[in-house]
Each structure stands twice: as structure tokens, then as C-alpha cells.
Structure 1
Amino acid sequence: MLEFLNSIDTSLFYFINVTLSNSVTNKVMPFITENNHWLLFYIIILGYIFFKGGKKGKVAVISVLVLIIFADQSTNFLKDYFARLRPCKVLEGVNLLVGCNSLYGMPSNHAVNNFAAATLFSFFYPGYKLILFITAFLVGISRVFVGVHYPFDIAVGAFVGITEALILIYILKLINSKFKIIY
């Protein structure tokens, strides 16, 4: 069964990474995948929410920072547990558009962090849910386009990130029912 799933994942990887590769995706996807390109944007948005969003904004920003730190660290543990080599380490003919530095790729930190943040911010700001999840999806799929993750690495990362965010949302609701920290 695992062999079958691996063959599907590898086929999907080649379809996205090689077949869908073109001059546009080869420029856009490395930009999307690079965290440093988003850093200033994230700082501005988080600062705005923190200072202009009232009590809810402060709780949202502090919560997402705690969530990302936890999610990022838990992902490193899961990578060592699954020990799944990145496609750029084992496959031939990969359209590698960024460095292939670390060994393991399951689950994708980019997917975990972005889907966790999208889920948490959707709780606080449901009107932005669609754009948050589109952005998380684009960041996740960019990792396949640039050659450093299999599609299942992204799917598992999305699942882990959403699950971790839902657990935090549950905790926040419990705390809010006692202390009214959100509204």
C-alpha cells in the first residue's frame, strides 16, 4: 500500500514540478516559496492587527506567534520521525529552482505554518478565510514546483497545521469562556 501511495505521490510530483513547469512558474514559485519575501508584509500585517485590532487583535497576534513557534518545532520532530527524503535528494530530472538543503521533507514546514496561521486567523477574522487558505495553498504548492517537496508532504503539512490550530482554537474558546479575553 505504501509503495502504491509513493508511486502516486511521485507521479504527482513530476506532473507539477516538470510537466507544469514554464517560464512563469519558474519565476513566480521561487518568489512565493521564499519566506524572506513575505517577512516585511507579515510584520506590517501583524503590527497593524496588534495595534489596531483591539483586544481581539492582540490575542490573535500573540496566539499566531505561539502557534507558529509550536508548529515549526513539532514539524521538525515529525520530519525526523517520518525520515522521508526530499524528492530533490532521490529523484532524477527534478526541476530544482531553490536549494535542496535539509534531508527530510515530510511534513512541509511551509505548509504546516501557513495552514496553521490560515486556520487560526480564519477563526478571528472569518471574512478573510478564502484569501488566507488560497495563500496557504499557493505557498504549499510552490514547494512542489520548486522541487523540494512531494505533494503528500504538503497535504500532511496542511493536515498537521490545521489540526494544531484547531486545538489552539479549542483552548482559546475555553479560556475565553472563563476570562473573556477575545470578546
Structure 2
Amino acid sequence: MEFFAHWDQAVFYSINHLQNPFLDALSLWVVETRQLTWLVLMILFTFLSKRKDRWRIAIVGILLLVSVDFLTHLFLKPFFHRLRPCHVLQNVILRVPCPASASFPSGHVFDIFTLAVFFGFYYPKWIGTLSLVTILVSLSRIYIGVHYPLDVLGSAALGTLAAFLGRMIEKKLKRKQS
């Protein structure tokens, strides 16, 4: 366990202590446009798609996102109550105010992995772009000083699991319509 705690802090500091004006701007943009980014992604996939089932996919995606946010903030964060690095570590470069909520899971990372993996099932040609967005969002959470790397990795795993669950739900809905 001590190995993981040491690794978590070492990787956190190596990412958090990077100094780059472009990364500053990009990370702040990710923070400020969180819900807008997800909404734009869903709208793009829905309207650019020629799939006949695109509306069902979009509705399941929206419901999945709302469910993940609800689960994160009302249950998982209070249950795990992991303190954020900006609350417990010294020499954190904090690029935004330190949130009062718990560190795990990261809502941003949970959301983006849920949507990226879910939409990746239906729009495989977008997997490269979706992967880039998930990486940028994930690294930004560490870079701005509000999440540990293990928070990000765990949230990515939860988001991936939620996407698979969403896929199962969408398939059941599809079968009922057939």
C-alpha cells in the first residue's frame, strides 16, 4: 500500500510541477467548459451521424451522464472521502481554488470516460479523437492540483464500466423496439 501512496505522490508532483502557459490555458478551459464540452460532443455525434438509432443512443448517453454525476456527488465522493492533494500535500501548484469535495472519484474523468467509451462503441472512427480528449481531461485534473493520478485512473475505470453498462441498456432498448 505504501508503494502506491509513494507512486501516487511522485507522479502527482511530476505532472503538477510542469510549467507551461499553454497547459495552463488548456487545463482552465477544461475546468470551465466541463458540461458544455460533454453536451457539444453528444450533439455532434447525434447530428453528424447517419445512424437510424442515433436518438436512442444520444438519450441513453445523456441519461448515463446524469446518472454518473448523481452517483459521483451523492454517493461515491462521500463514501470514499479521499482528501484532495491540495488539502494535504505541500508545494502543490494550485491553478484553481481547491474544491471542498472529496478527491475520488474525479467527476470530470468519470464523465468523459463514460461518454467517450459509450460513444466509441457506436462511432469507432472517432475513437482517436475521443481518446485524445480523455487524456487531456485526465491529465488536466492532476496538472491543476486537484486530483491524484490514482483518482484519475480509478475514475477512468469507473467511467469505462458505466459505459459498458450503458451499452447493455441501449442493446436491451433496441431489442424491445425490434
TM over 0.5: yes
| Aligned counterpart in structure 2 of residue 160 of structure 1, from 158, 161, 172 | 158
Q: Percent identity?
A: 34
On the 8 A contact 2:57/2:170 being kept in 1, the answer is no
Amino acid of the residue matched to residue 56 of structure 1?
Answer: D
Matched, 1:171 2:162: no
Matches within 5 A, 1:81-92: 81-92=79-90
Where structure 2 has 5 or more consecutive residues not aligned to the other structure, the ranges are none
Cα gap change, 1:135 to 1:44, in 2 (>3 Å): closer
Structure 1 CA distance for aligned equivalents of residues 24 and 86 of structure 2: 16
Question: Offset at 1:8?
Answer: 0.8
On the 8 A contact 2:118/2:164 being kept in 1, the answer is yes
Question: Offset at 1:174?
Answer: 2.7
Number of residues of Structure 1 aligned to a counterpart in Structure 2: 176
Q: Which residue of 2 aligns with 1:126?
A: 124
Cα gap change, 1:45 to 1:29, in 2 (>3 Å): closer
On the 8 A contact 1:85/1:104 being kept in 2, the answer is yes
Q: Which residue of 1 aligns with 2:11?
A: 12
Matches within 5 A, 1:1-183: 1=1, 3-18=2-17, 20-35=18-33, 39=36, 42-51=38-47, 53=49, 55-76=52-73, 77-180=75-178
On the 8 A contact 2:81/2:102 being kept in 1, the answer is yes
SS of residue matched to 1:148: coil
Moved more, 94-103 or 22-31: 22-31
Amino acid of the residue matched to residue 120 of structure 1?
Answer: F
TM-score if structure 1 supplies the norm length? 0.87
Question: Offset at 1:32?
Answer: 2.5
Question: Offset at 1:103?
Answer: 3.1
On the 8 A contact 1:75/1:107 being kept in 2, the answer is yes
Question: Offset at 1:177?
Answer: 2.9
Cα gap change, 1:48 to 1:6, in 2 (>3 Å): closer
Question: Offset at 1:33?
Answer: 2.9
